[in-house]
Structure 1
Amino acid sequence: MNNQLNANQNVSPYIYRYCTAREGLPRFREKLSRSDAVTVAFLGGSITEGYGASDPDRSSWRALTEQFLQAAYPALTWTFVNAGVGGTNSTLGAHRLQSHVPVSDGIDLLFIEFAVNDSQHREHSAEGRAETIRSMEGIVRQCRRLSPQADIVLLYSADEHNLAEVDPFFISVHEEVAVHYGLPSVSFSGRVRDWLAAGEGTWEQLAPDRTHPNDAGYACYAGLLREFLDHVLKPNSAQSAQGTTVLPAPLLEDSYGQASMRDMSGTYGVKLLHMQQRPENMVNWRYAAEHLASDSPEAEFSFDVNGHGAGLLLICGPDSGILEFAVNGGPFQTVNPFDEWCPLFWRPVPVRLASQSQVEAMRITVRNTAMKDERSTGTWLRVLALLEH
Structure 2
Amino acid sequence: MNAKIKIIVGALVCASLLTGCAGGNTGTNSGTNSGTESSASASAASSDNSTGASSETGNSSDTSSEVSSIDESNLTEEQIYDNMVERSLMDLGNLERMSKFIEKLENKQEVTIAFIGGSITEGLTAGPEKCWAKLTYDRLCEKYPDTKINYVNAGLSGTPSVLGNIRLQRDVLDHDPDMVFVEFAVNDGNDQIYKDSYDAMVRKILSQEKQPAVALYFTVIKSGHTCEEYMSQVGKAYGLPMVSLNNVLSHEFETGRMKWEDYSDDESHPNEWGHKMTADLIMNMFDKATEKIKTMGDVTITPLPDTWVYSDRFADMTFIDRTHSSDKLKISSTGTFDTERETLTSFPDGWSYKGKPSGCEPMELEFTGKNLMLVYKCNNSAVFGSLQFTVDGEVYTTIATSATDGWSNPVATLAYSGAEGTHKVSIKPVTQSGDDKTTYVEILGFGVA
TM-score band by shorter chain is: 0.7 to 0.9
Matched position secondary structure for 2:282: helix
Aligned with residue 315 of structure 2, among 257, 274, 279: 257
Q: Larger Cα Rg: Structure 1 or Structure 2? A: 2
Shift of 1:110: 0.3
- The yes-or-no answer on 1:33 pairing with 2:106 is yes
Match of 1:293 in 2: 352
Q: C-alpha distance in 2, partners of 1:151/1:80?
A: 15
- The yes-or-no answer on 1:382 pairing with 2:442 is yes
Match of 1:48 in 2: 121
Aligned residues: 360
Q: C-alpha distance in 2, partners of 1:379/1:172?
A: 42
CA contact (8 A) 1:372 1:378 kept: no
Shift of 1:224: 1.1
Q: C-alpha distance in 2, partners of 1:339/1:51?
A: 22
CA contact (8 A) 1:313 1:384 kept: yes
Matched position secondary structure for 1:234: helix
Aligned with residue 399 of structure 2, among 310, 335, 342: 335
| 1:142-198 CA-partner distances (Å, limit 9, x unpaired) | 1122244210000001202336xxxx5x21110111111111100012112122222
Q: C-alpha distance in 2, partners of 1:222/1:188?
A: 11
Q: How does 1:296-307 map to 2 (within 5 A)?
A: 296-297=356-357, 298-307=360-369
User: What amino acid is aligned across from residue 381 of structure 1 in structure 2?
Assistant: V
The worse-fitting range, judged by mean Cα deviation, of 172-181 and 236-245 is 236-245
Match of 2:156 in 1: 85
Shift of 1:31: 1.7
Q: Which runs of 5+ in 1 are unaligned?
A: none
Shift of 1:91: 0.8
User: What amino acid is aligned across from residue 87 of structure 1 in structure 2?
Assistant: G
Q: C-alpha distance in 1, partners of 2:245/2:281?
A: 7
- The yes-or-no answer on 1:363 pairing with 2:433 is no
User: What amino acid is aligned across from residue 350 of structure 1 in structure 2?
Assistant: A
Q: How does 1:165-244 map to 2 (within 5 A)?
A: 170-234=227-291, 237-239=294-296, 241-242=298-299, 244=301
RMSD: 2.7
Match of 2:186 in 1: 116
Match of 1:73 in 2: 144
Shift of 1:306: 1.8
Q: C-alpha distance in 1, partners of 2:112/2:369?
A: 31
Q: How does 1:266-277 map to 2 (within 5 A)?
A: 266-277=330-341
Shift of 1:299: 3.5
Normalising by structure 2, report the TM-score: 0.74
Shift of 1:243: 5.2
CA contact (8 A) 2:334 2:363 kept: yes
Pair 245,262 (structure 1): closer, same or farther in 2 beyond 3 Å:
farther
CA contact (8 A) 2:400 2:432 kept: no
Shift of 1:363: 2.0
Q: C-alpha distance in 2, partners of 1:372/1:21?
A: 53
Pair 4,253 (structure 1): closer, same or farther in 2 beyond 3 Å:
closer
| 1:284-340 CA-partner distances (Å, limit 9, x unpaired) | x5x351321113313311222222200211123333101210112223432223111
Matched position secondary structure for 1:264: coil
- The yes-or-no answer on 1:156 pairing with 2:229 is no
CA contact (8 A) 1:254 1:308 kept: no
- The yes-or-no answer on 1:143 pairing with 2:143 is no
Q: C-alpha distance in 2, partners of 1:208/1:115?
A: 19
| 1:12-48 CA-partner distances (Å, limit 9, x unpaired) | 7545532110112122122223342010000000000
CA contact (8 A) 1:23 1:240 kept: no
Shift of 1:378: 5.2
The worse-fitting range, judged by mean Cα deviation, of 59-68 and 29-38 is 29-38
CA contact (8 A) 2:388 2:395 kept: no
Aligned-pair identity in percent equals 25
CA contact (8 A) 1:336 1:372 kept: no
Match of 2:133 in 1: 62
CA contact (8 A) 2:99 2:293 kept: no
Shift of 1:254: 3.0
User: What amino acid is aligned across from residue 261 of structure 1 in structure 2?
Assistant: F
Pair 81,230 (structure 1): closer, same or farther in 2 beyond 3 Å:
same
Q: C-alpha distance in 2, partners of 1:253/1:237?
A: 36
User: What amino acid is aligned across from residue 109 of structure 2 in structure 1?
Assistant: D
- The yes-or-no answer on 1:326 pairing with 2:374 is no
Q: C-alpha distance in 2, partners of 1:305/1:244?
A: 35
Q: Which runs of 5+ in 2 are unaligned?
A: 1-56, 68-81, 324-329
Matched position secondary structure for 1:146: coil
Matched position secondary structure for 2:153: strand
The worse-fitting range, judged by mean Cα deviation, of 198-207 and 265-274 is 265-274
